[in-house]
């Protein structure tokens, strides 16, 4: 075939070719880094709440209600004399946790169903898709509010309500991705290699389709935080006196002209969290898509 | 470049006689594959209730001998890809049977049967899982079929890569880091990992650059020579076919219309379609496009198979009998089969070389 | 030679990257196409042949632009011309045929309409006149039953027919220059044969010039009279088809000829070109083919070799071109 010199040359080139096609490292991905920094900081704040918060978030100081920001209370106090800053910090725990968990359940449930429907097709797929269509017919908030009303307020019912409604998006996304992936030659090759359907779904198709669901999940966390905040604002969310950004906005809105920071700052936190999660989603999308996909 | 003795070269089906050397590696008889297409209510009304049936394969007889490279040539609608998929077990036939070394091959292949016949795909960009490193991919196959012990996986993977002309450092890389030609070689290494004795290559070089095609073609030739593989090579580039294969089978609209040894086929085609194909090949030496034989019309649709000989509407040598008789593939010369009722009289089909 | 129809000089195409140097994909490309000439541009993936063609047709993808050089059509400079003037000049004079007819045709418009659009817009024909012309063109391109087929949508036609529609569309305004980007690569062999014949005949009849991009040397041999071989964004050899293919003077051209199976010489062993196609991002200095060249010397790596005339009308960009001939290398 080739002379030894040519073979050597070819091997040298192969090494060079491998290196030059290396993938852009994650730390060069601007959105990803920004997302990690922001979300990471918020998570840190939430985790370190007991150490960071100067006061107990539910401790009332009835002789010092509606105080303006001062050296003792950096953001002032609310109408029950509770320190706003401490409530903000502790609130991060609640909102982030609920946002994340509220996405995890539908993500798992919806993705699995969608993957099975997409892969096996047939009547399984048809039935699932009709169910999904029914769910999509109802507006998100209407359903969630009705369900929370039925289940009663509290963290568990929020999870249930949101999960019951939002799993369909994951099912649809993952099903679509699986439909495309299963036509790829590498899936056929895996079948020809004697692999079982289960193995193919989990090991081969899975990693290739979940990226879209994960990216959607990021924006879903944002949406769920908004939902919790809204529910909190409507009085249907986490029961008081637990600190939570939504209920803080609700509490603070009557004093918007005098103590504007009580409502605005929690609102800003929601915005920052959403921004961070969006960046994270963008960055992950970059990381998982074209370069890796090819 | 022989395989170590760890596993037999191919695991025989239990009812095949391993000492019988006169059975071809693969034999296909009366193979048919039809698709009933679901039609919409509207079109069913307009077609008066007739369903559209796609007859992709309609009675295929073919034989792949041990250690040979057989090329399967045809245009769109010929059914060559469908045949390849059925042979490798990706789809099942609607009729007919497949024999592997003389024993019937089940339609649905289990894990063990799947090792015997492997496939190399056309598109190097979709045939490798983008999320698995080359090493992970090979490892999975080697362990699943217990080809070697877990400790030896890396060494065996390295050996497979060397077999296809790649280095060990490819094991830790992702497919996206390789060029098209390299990916095809990785795909071949994957196919070889389970130690098949038959390889079905579905247009493996069509998507590659010309200068790279040669390396992959040489690879197939050396695999046949050194490992004794039997290779079915589906292709549309007749120059490639002529270079690489021992025998050629020409397909048209779901049937095999001619089979012969390569040199013989290209020198003395005995079917008008084959002659037309040969004349369509762009040449490096001749002047302008040859006048000799230009087909009218399009490759036909398998929805609408002509009666009698499938080729008769476009055949310049068609006579009345061609419209009523469905020709059988039979010998017109030693080791030369043709499905044309006029095969023996049509001496003018022989190709004059420049 | 009388004034060429198309004259490309030192064309460079690439991607600008802010303050750093732009990434060049096509570099310093020059060639002429005479009236009625059939000019082939041959190369593999990454050679820049498609981009060169698209630059002529003002169809570069977003982000990719002409960074230097000139493209003169009938003496008029095309680069820098405002969009509107360019399309007025281009529409009727220069037409393009693409590789994949399914994506080049509008799926929701009947094919007859699509062909008629050009004459209506550029030649000022009325609706009826343009439709007649469309049917005329369809008949010319060998489409059976053109009156009925004109009312079909693209998805109702086969690949070969769609390609003919595209040819009909391209020729509907009687252009002087036809740009073809691998027009037959996606077609079956027998259909390719028909389409190439068609292109040849139509260009002969109308006197249009052809710029034909392909990777298939045999197709170029049959269809074109002159050719340029591109590698890694440069033209490495150019001349008449007969000259270049019988006496290649650039190692890459030789490599291409040696590695491609030739139907007329089945016993010749294929000699692949060692190494890998170049990466646009990391081009070494000097001759881009140096890493893979069997004749490489030190001087090859220092600077891009200039185009050297090795015979009348035949140039090769290789400093060893004079000495390299097929006899030198043992076959």
Report the half-sphere exposure of B47 (CA within 13 A, side-chain side).
12
SS3 call for B69:
strand
Q: Would you give the end-to-end CA distance of chain B in angstroms?
A: 40
Contact A290, A106 (CB under 8 A): no
Q: How confident is the model at residue A125 (pLDDT cuts 50, 70, 90)?
A: very high
Residue A11 inside a domain? The answer is: no
pLDDT tens-digit profile of C74-88? Answer: 888 988 888 888 887
Q: A181-190, B280-289, C53-62: which has the minimum mean pLDDT? A: B280-289
In the predicted structure, residue A41 carries a pLDDT above the cut 80: yes
pLDDT tens-digit profile of B153-176? Answer: 999 999 999 989 888 888 999 898
Q: In total, how many domains does chain A have? A: 1
The rounded distance, in Å, linking the Cα atoms of B294 and B284 is 19
Residue A266 inside a domain? The answer is: yes
Q: B101-110, C215-224, C266-275: which has the minimum mean pLDDT? A: B101-110
Q: Which of C272, C281, C294 sits opposite A20 (nearest CB)?
A: C281
Q: Which residue of C has its CA nearest to A9?
A: C275
pTM of the model: 0.81
What is the average per-residue pLDDT within B171-190?
90
Q: Which two tokens stand for residue A240?
A: 């008081």
At residue C284, the pLDDT reads: 76
CA distance A153 to chain C (A): 53
Better-scored residue on pLDDT, C206 or A236: C206
What is the average per-residue pLDDT within B315-326?
87
In the predicted structure, residue A259 carries a pLDDT above the cut 90: no
What is the average per-residue pLDDT within A113-135?
92
Among A80-89, A98-107, C55-64, C230-239, the range of highest mean pLDDT? C230-239
Residue C274 and residue A21: Cβ atoms within 8 Å? no
B79 plus B179 within the same structural domain: yes
Residue B12 inside a domain? The answer is: no
Q: A25-34, A75-84, B289-298, C208-217: which has the minimum mean pLDDT? A: B289-298
The rounded distance, in Å, linking the Cα atoms of A36 and B334 is 73
Q: Residue C167 region, left (φ>0) first, then alpha (ψ -120 to 50), else beta?
A: alpha
The rounded distance, in Å, linking the Cα atoms of B286 and C262 is 11
SS3 call for A104:
helix
The rounded distance, in Å, linking the Cα atoms of C256 and C248 is 10
Q: Which residue of A has its CA nearest to B88?
A: A192
Residue A13 and residue C272: Cβ atoms within 8 Å? no
Residue A6 inside a domain? The answer is: no
Residue B164 inside a domain? The answer is: yes
Q: Which residue of B has its CA nearest to A191?
A: B90
Q: Which residues of C touch B283 (CB under 8 A)?
A: 218, 221-222, 263-264
> Which residues of B, range 323-342, sit inside 8 Å of A by Cβ?
none
CB-count burial class (<10 Å; 0-12, 13-18, 19+) for C148 = exposed
Q: Which of C189, C197, C263 sits opposite B294 (nearest CB)?
A: C197
Residue A35 inside a domain? The answer is: no
Q: What are phi and psi of A116, to 5 degrees?
A: -65, -45
At residue C69, the pLDDT reads: 93
Contact C189, C196 (CB under 8 A): no
At residue A167, the pLDDT reads: 92
Beta pairing, strands C6-17 & B103-104: unpaired
The rounded distance, in Å, linking the Cα atoms of B218 and B228 is 15
**Rounded to 5 degrees, what angle do the CA atoms C53, C59, C61 make?**
105
Chain C CB within 8 Å of residue A20 CB: yes
Q: How confident is the model at residue A53 (pLDDT cuts 50, 70, 90)?
A: confident
Q: Chains touching chain B at 3 or more Cβ pairs under 8 angstroms? A: A, C
Residue B13 inside a domain? The answer is: no
Chain A CB within 8 Å of residue B171 CB: no
Q: Which residues of B touch A193 (CB under 8 A)?
A: 114, 118, 141, 144, 190, 194
Residue A215 inside a domain? The answer is: yes
The rounded distance, in Å, linking the Cα atoms of A102 and A228 is 10
What is the average per-residue pLDDT within C191-207?
88
The rounded distance, in Å, linking the Cα atoms of B313 and A132 is 50
In the predicted structure, residue B102 carries a pLDDT above the cut 90: no
The rounded distance, in Å, linking the Cα atoms of C226 and C37 is 8
At residue B40, the pLDDT reads: 61
In the predicted structure, residue A86 carries a pLDDT above the cut 90: no
Residue ranges of chain C whose CB lies within 8 Å of a chain A CB: 272, 274-276, 279, 281-282, 291-292, 294
pLDDT tens-digit profile of B103-149? Answer: 888 777 778 888 889 999 999 989 999 888 999 999 999 999 988 89
Interface test with A, best of B177, B180, B203 (most A CBs within 10 A): B177
The rounded distance, in Å, linking the Cα atoms of A265 and A271 is 10
Contact B239, B320 (CB under 8 A): no
Beta bridge partners of C33: C6
CA distance B266 to chain C (A): 10
In the predicted structure, residue A68 carries a pLDDT above the cut 50: yes
Average pLDDT of chain B, as a whole number: 83
Neighbour count for residue A175 (Cβ, 10 Å)? 24
Q: Which two tokens stand for residue B133?
A: 């490193």
Which residues, at least 6 apart from C169, have a Cβ–Cβ distance to it below 8 Å? C95, C114, C115, C118, C137
Q: Which residues of C touch B301 (CB under 8 A)?
A: 158
Contact B230, B66 (CB under 8 A): yes
The per-residue b/e assignment along A177-190, b for 16 or more CB within 10 angstroms, e otherwise, is bbbebbebbbbbbb
Q: Which residues of A touch B132 (CB under 8 A)?
A: 204
Residue C279 and residue A13: Cβ atoms within 8 Å? no
The rounded distance, in Å, linking the Cα atoms of B20 and C275 is 44
B224 plus B349 within the same structural domain: no
B141 plus B30 within the same structural domain: yes
Residue C193 and residue B298: Cβ atoms within 8 Å? no
Average pLDDT of chain A, as a whole number: 83
At residue A23, the pLDDT reads: 57
The helix/strand count (H/E) of chain A reads as 13, 0
Q: What is the dihedral of CA B272, B277, B279, B280, to 10 degrees?
A: 140
Scanning chain B, the segments in alpha helix (DSSP H) are 41-46, 80-88, 134-144, 153-163, 180-193, 210-227, 238-244, 262-267, 272-280, 320-324
What is the average per-residue pLDDT within C237-266?
90
In the predicted structure, residue A289 carries a pLDDT above the cut 80: no
Neighbour count for residue C311 (Cβ, 10 Å)? 13
Q: Which of B90, B109, B173 sits opposite A18 (nearest CB)?
A: B173
Residue C279 and residue A9: Cβ atoms within 8 Å? no
Contact A95, A228 (CB under 8 A): yes
Q: In total, how many domains does chain B have? A: 2
Residue B304 inside a domain? The answer is: yes
Residue B114 and residue A207: Cβ atoms within 8 Å? no
B98 plus B191 within the same structural domain: yes
Q: Which of C193, C196, C256 sits opposite B211 (nearest CB)?
A: C256
B198 plus B260 within the same structural domain: no
SS3 call for C94:
strand
The rounded distance, in Å, linking the Cα atoms of C316 and B153 is 50
Q: How confident is the model at residue C100 (pLDDT cuts 50, 70, 90)?
A: confident
Q: How confident is the model at residue B262 (pLDDT cuts 50, 70, 90)?
A: very high
Average pLDDT of chain C, as a whole number: 87
**Rounded to 5 degrees, what angle do the CA atoms B205, B208, B210 make?**
95
B178 plus B290 within the same structural domain: no
Strand order in the sheet with B117-120: B117-120, B198-202, B230-235, B69-73, B247-252, B255-261, B336-338, B330-333
Q: How confident is the model at residue C325 (pLDDT cuts 50, 70, 90)?
A: low
Contact C279, A17 (CB under 8 A): yes
Residue A260 inside a domain? The answer is: yes
pLDDT tens-digit profile of A201-235? Answer: 888 888 888 888 888 888 888 888 888 888 877 77
What is the average per-residue pLDDT within C194-218?
90
What is the average per-residue pLDDT within B47-58?
72
Chain C CB within 8 Å of residue B211 CB: yes
Chain C CB within 8 Å of residue B173 CB: no
Q: How confident is the model at residue A10 (pLDDT cuts 50, 70, 90)?
A: low
CA distance C252 to chain A (A): 15
Instruction: Domain of residue B52: give its range.
Output: 1-7+24-236
Q: How confident is the model at residue B44 (pLDDT cuts 50, 70, 90)?
A: low
CA distance A30 to chain C (A): 17
> Which residues of B, range 107-146, sit inside 8 Å of A by Cβ?
109-112, 114-115, 118-119, 121-123, 125-132, 140-141, 144-145
Beta bridge partners of C238: C228, C315
Beta strands in chain C (DSSP E): 6-17, 20-33, 38-42, 64-73, 76-77, 94-97, 177-181, 209-214, 226-231, 234-240, 308-311, 314-316
Residue ranges of chain A whose CB lies within 8 Å of a chain B CB: 1, 10-11, 14-15, 17-18, 21-23, 184-186, 188-195, 203-204, 207-208, 291-294
In the predicted structure, residue C70 carries a pLDDT above the cut 90: yes
CB-count burial class (<10 Å; 0-12, 13-18, 19+) for C160 = buried
In the block, tokens 């281009």 appear at: C90
Q: Which of C281, C291, C294 sits opposite A13 (nearest CB)?
A: C291
Residue C276 and residue A6: Cβ atoms within 8 Å? no
Nearest CA among C89, C87, C86, C64 for reference residue C11:
C64
Q: Which two tokens stand for residue C3?
A: 């004034």
- Domain of residue A138, CATH code: 1.10.3720.10
Q: How confident is the model at residue B349 (pLDDT cuts 50, 70, 90)?
A: low
In the predicted structure, residue A101 carries a pLDDT above the cut 50: yes
Contact C216, B284 (CB under 8 A): no
Task: Tell me the domains of chain C and their CATH numbers.
Answer: 6-316 (3.40.50.300)
In the predicted structure, residue B19 carries a pLDDT above the cut 90: no
Q: Which residue of B has its CA nearest to C46?
A: B209
Residue C279 and residue A10: Cβ atoms within 8 Å? no
Instruction: Domain of residue A248: give its range.
Output: 49-293
In the predicted structure, residue B39 carries a pLDDT above the cut 70: no
The rounded distance, in Å, linking the Cα atoms of C157 and C155 is 5
Q: Chains touching chain A at 3 or more Cβ pairs under 8 angstroms? A: B, C
Q: Which two tokens stand for residue B162?
A: 């060397």
Report the half-sphere exposure of A91 (CA within 13 A, side-chain side).
30
Nearest CA among B335, B128, B116, B141 for reference residue B229:
B116
Q: Chains touching chain C at 3 or more Cβ pairs under 8 angstroms? A: A, B
- Domain of residue B175, CATH code: 3.40.50.300
SS3 call for C231:
strand
CA distance B209 to chain C (A): 6
Q: Which of C223, C263, C271 sits opposite B281 (nearest CB)?
A: C263
Residue B15 inside a domain? The answer is: no
CA distance A29 to chain C (A): 17
Q: Which helix (H) or strand (E) holds A212?
A: helix A206-234
Q: Which two tokens stand for residue A164?
A: 């019951």
At residue C265, the pLDDT reads: 84
Q: Which of A14, A185, A190 sits opposite B167 (nearest CB)?
A: A14
B197 plus B288 within the same structural domain: no
In the predicted structure, residue B98 carries a pLDDT above the cut 80: yes
In the predicted structure, residue B354 carries a pLDDT above the cut 60: no
Residue B212 inside a domain? The answer is: yes
B139 plus B205 within the same structural domain: yes
Q: How confident is the model at residue B4 (pLDDT cuts 50, 70, 90)?
A: very low
SS3 call for B34:
strand
CA distance C219 to chain A (A): 27
B223 plus B81 within the same structural domain: yes
């Amino acid at each position: 075939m080739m002379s030894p010199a040519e073979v050597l040359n070819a091997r040298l080139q192969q090494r060079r070719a491998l290196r030059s096609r290396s993938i852009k490292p994650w730390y060069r991905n601007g959105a990803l880094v920004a997302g990690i920094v922001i979300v990471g900081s918020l998570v840190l704040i939430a985790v370190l709440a007991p150490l960071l918060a100067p006061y107990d978030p539910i401790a009332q100081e009835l002789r010092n209600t509606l105080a303006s920001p001062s050296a003792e209370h950096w953001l002032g106090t609310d109408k029950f004399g509770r320190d706003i800053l401490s409530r903000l910090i502790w609130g991060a725990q609640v909102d982030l946790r609920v946002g994340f968990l509220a996405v995890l359940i539908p993500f798992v449930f919806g993705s699995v169903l969608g993957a099975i429907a997409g892969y096996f097709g047939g009547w399984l797929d048809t039935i699932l898709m009709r169910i999904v269509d029914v769910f999509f017919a109802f507006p998100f908030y209407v359903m969630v509010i009705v369900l929370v009303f039925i289940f009663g307020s509290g963290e568990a019912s929020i999870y249930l309500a949101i999960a019951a409604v939002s799993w369909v998006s994951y099912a649809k996304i993952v099903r679509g991705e699986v439909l495309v992936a299963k036509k790829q030659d590498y899936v056929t090759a895996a079948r020809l290699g004697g692999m079982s359907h289960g193995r193919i779904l989990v090991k081969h198709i899975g990693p290739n389709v979940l990226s879209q669901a994960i990216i959607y999940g990021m924006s879903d966390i944002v949406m769920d935080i908004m939902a919790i905040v809204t529910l909190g604002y409507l009085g249907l969310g986490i029961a008081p006196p637990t600190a939570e950004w939504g209920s803080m906005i609700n509490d603070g809105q009557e004093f918007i002209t005098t103590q504007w920071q009580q409502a605005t700052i929690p609102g800003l936190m929601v915005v920052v969290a959403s921004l961070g999660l969006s960046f994270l989603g963008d960055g992950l999308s970059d990381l998982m898509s074209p370069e890796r996909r090819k | 470049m022989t395989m170590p003795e760890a596993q037999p070269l191919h695991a025989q089906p239990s009812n095949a006689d391993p000492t019988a050397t006169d059975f071809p590696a693969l034999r296909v008889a009366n193979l048919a594959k039809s698709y009933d297409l679901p039609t919409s209510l509207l079109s069913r009304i307009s077609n008066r209730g007739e369903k559209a049936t796609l007859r992709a394969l309609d009675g295929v007889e073919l034989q792949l001998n041990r250690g040979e490279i057989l090329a399967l040539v045809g245009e769109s609608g010929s059914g060559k890809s469908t045949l390849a998929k059925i042979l490798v077990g990706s789809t099942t036939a609607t009729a007919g049977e497949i024999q592997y070394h003389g024993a019937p091959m089940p339609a649905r292949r289990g894990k063990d049967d799947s090792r015997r016949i492997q496939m190399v795909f056309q598109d190097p960009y979709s045939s490798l899982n983008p999320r698995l490193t080359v090493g992970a991919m090979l490892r999975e196959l080697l362990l699943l079929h217990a080809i070697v012990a877990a400790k030896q996986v890396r060494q065996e993977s390295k050996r497979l890569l060397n077999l296809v002309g790649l280095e060990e450092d490819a094991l830790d890389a992702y497919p996206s880091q390789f060029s098209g030609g390299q990916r095809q070689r990785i795909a071949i290494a994957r196919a070889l990992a389970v130690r098949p004795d038959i390889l079905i290559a579905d247009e493996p070089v069509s998507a590659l650059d010309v200068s790279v095609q040669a390396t992959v073609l040489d690879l197939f030739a050396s695999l046949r020579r050194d490992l004794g593989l039997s290779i079915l090579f589906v292709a549309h580039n007749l120059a490639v076919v002529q270079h690489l294969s021992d025998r050629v089978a020409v397909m048209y609209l779901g049937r095999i219309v001619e089979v012969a040894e390569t040199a013989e086929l290209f020198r003395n085609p005995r079917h008008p379609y084959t002659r037309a194909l040969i004349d369509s090949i762009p040449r490096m030496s001749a002047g302008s496009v040859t006048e000799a034989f230009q087909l009218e019309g399009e490759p036909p649709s398998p929805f609408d198979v002509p009666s009698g000989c499938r080729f008769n509407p476009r055949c310049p040598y068609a006579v009345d009998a061609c419209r009523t008789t469905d020709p059988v593939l039979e010998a017109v010369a030693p080791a030369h089969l043709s499905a044309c009722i006029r095969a023996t009289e049509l001496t003018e089909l022989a190709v004059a070389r420049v | 030679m009388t004034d060429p129809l198309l004259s490309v000089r030192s064309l460079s195409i690439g991607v600008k990257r802010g303050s750093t140097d732009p990434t060049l994909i096509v570099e310093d490309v020059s060639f002429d196409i005479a009236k009625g000439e059939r000019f082939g541009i041959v190369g593999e993936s990454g050679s820049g042949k498609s981009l060169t063609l698209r630059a002529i047709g003002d169809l570069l993808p977003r982000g990719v632009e002409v960074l230097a050089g000139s493209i003169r059509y009938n003496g008029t400079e095309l680069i820098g011309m405002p969009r509107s003037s360019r399309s007025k000049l281009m529409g009727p004079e220069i037409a393009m045929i693409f590789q994949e007819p399914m994506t080049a045709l509008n799926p929701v418009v009947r094919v007859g309409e699509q062909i008629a659009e050009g004459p209506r817009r550029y030649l000022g024909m009325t609706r009826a006149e343009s439709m007649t012309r469309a049917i005329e063109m369809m008949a010319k391109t060998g489409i059976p039953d053109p009156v009925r087929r004109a009312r079909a949508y693209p998805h109702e036609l086969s690949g070969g027919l769609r390609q003919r529609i595209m040819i009909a569309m391209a020729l509907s305004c009687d252009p002087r220059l036809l740009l073809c980007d691998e027009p037959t690569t996606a077609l079956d062999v027998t259909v390719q044969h028909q389409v190439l014949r068609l292109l040849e005949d139509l260009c002969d009849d109308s006197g249009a010039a052809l710029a034909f991009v392909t990777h298939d040397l045999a197709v170029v041999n049959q269809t074109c009279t002159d050719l340029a071989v591109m590698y890694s964004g440069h033209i490495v050899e150019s001349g008449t088809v007969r000259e270049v293919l019988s006496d290649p003077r650039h190692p890459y051209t030789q490599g291409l000829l040696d590695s491609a199976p030739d139907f007329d010489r089945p016993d010749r062993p294929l000699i692949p070109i060692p190494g890998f196609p170049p990466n646009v991002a990391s081009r070494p200095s000097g001759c881009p083919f140096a890493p893979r060249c069997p004749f490489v010397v030190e001087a090859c790596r220092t600077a891009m070799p200039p185009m050297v005339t090795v015979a009348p009308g035949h140039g090769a960009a290789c400093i060893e071109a004079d000495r390299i001939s097929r006899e030198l290398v043992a076959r």
